[in-house]
């Protein structure tokens, strides 16, 4: 039985004519699967490879080159909370903020809370240096994040 739903399979197949080679669909396909399942399992890698006439190792190589994707045993939470640790944010307390969030959420960066609500990550510059220290709540910038603001943000995401 397929781990990829029929709509996801169809969506991947719909992308194929838009690219010069099937291999070029690897990254968009990984994003589709990751968005839908919050992880890309080994079985999903095999199925993506079949759809794109690739060897599973080629899909796996692309997936692991970008540290963005979660694989087996690493399911993302409902929200991905990125704390920037780029230079501007570092100078304005990013490491203390990361420390605070890890304690508050009882996870290390890269892990998901026990309730499955939040995956905490660190990021390099997220393009919001004027609001350092900054976070990304999925793809939404949150600027000037004090530990108090982080607490509010976490409370909001947990509710």
Q: Which residues lie near ligand FES (CB under 6 A)?
A: 84, 86-89, 125-129, 132, 134
Q: What percent of the residues of the chain are helix, what percent strand, and what percent coil, each to the nearest 5?
A: 50, 10, 35
Q: Least distance (Å) from ligand FES to the CB of residue 95?
A: 12
Of 54 and 126, nearer to ligand FES (C-beta) is 126
Tokens of 71: 């694989």
User: Which C-beta is closer to ligand FES: that of 16 or that of 88?
Assistant: 88
Give bridge partners of residue 136 from the DSSP assignment: 82, 141
Q: Please, what is the minimum distance in Å from the beta carbon of residue 146 to ligand FES?
A: 15
Residue whose C-alpha is closest to residue 83's, from 63, 64, 65, 103:
103
Which tokens belong to 3? 């781990």
Q: How far is the CB of 133 from ligand FES (least distance, A)?
A: 7
Q: What is the DSSP letter of 112?
A: B
Least distance in angstroms from the C-beta of 99 to ligand FES: 16
CB of residue 76 vs ligand FES: minimum separation in angstroms?
22
Select 51 or 136, whichever has its Cβ closest to ligand FES.
136
Q: Which residue's beta carbon is nearest to the bound ligand FES?
A: 86
Contacts of residues 14-18 at CB distance under 8 Å and 24 or more positions apart, as own/partner, are 16/52
Closer by beta carbon to ligand FES, 107 or else 125 = 125
Q: How many CB atoms lie within 10 A of CB 137?
A: 15
Query: Is 4 or 84 the residue whose CB approaches ligand FES more closely?
Result: 84
Which pair of tokens denotes residue 68? 């963005």
SS3 of residue 81 by DSSP:
strand
């Amino acid at each position: 039985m397929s781990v990829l739903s029929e709509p996801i399979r169809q969506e991947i197949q719909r992308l194929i004519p838009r690219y010069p080679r099937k291999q070029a669909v690897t990254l968009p396909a990984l994003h589709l699967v990751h968005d839908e399942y919050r992880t890309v399992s080994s079985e999903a890698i095999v199925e993506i490879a079949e759809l794109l006439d690739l060897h599973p190792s080629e899909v796996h190589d692309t997936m692991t080159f970008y540290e963005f994707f979660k694989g087996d045993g690493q399911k993302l939470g409902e929200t991905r909370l990125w704390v920037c640790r780029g230079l501007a944010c570092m100078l304005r307390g990013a490491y203390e903020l990361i420390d605070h969030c890890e304690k508050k959420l009882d996870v290390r960066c890269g892990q998901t809370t026990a309730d499955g609500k939040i995956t905490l990550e660190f990021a390099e510059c997220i393009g919001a240096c004027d609001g350092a220290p900054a976070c990304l709540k999925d793809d939404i910038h949150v600027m000037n994040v004090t530990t108090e603001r982080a607490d509010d943000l976490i409370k909001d995401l947990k509710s």
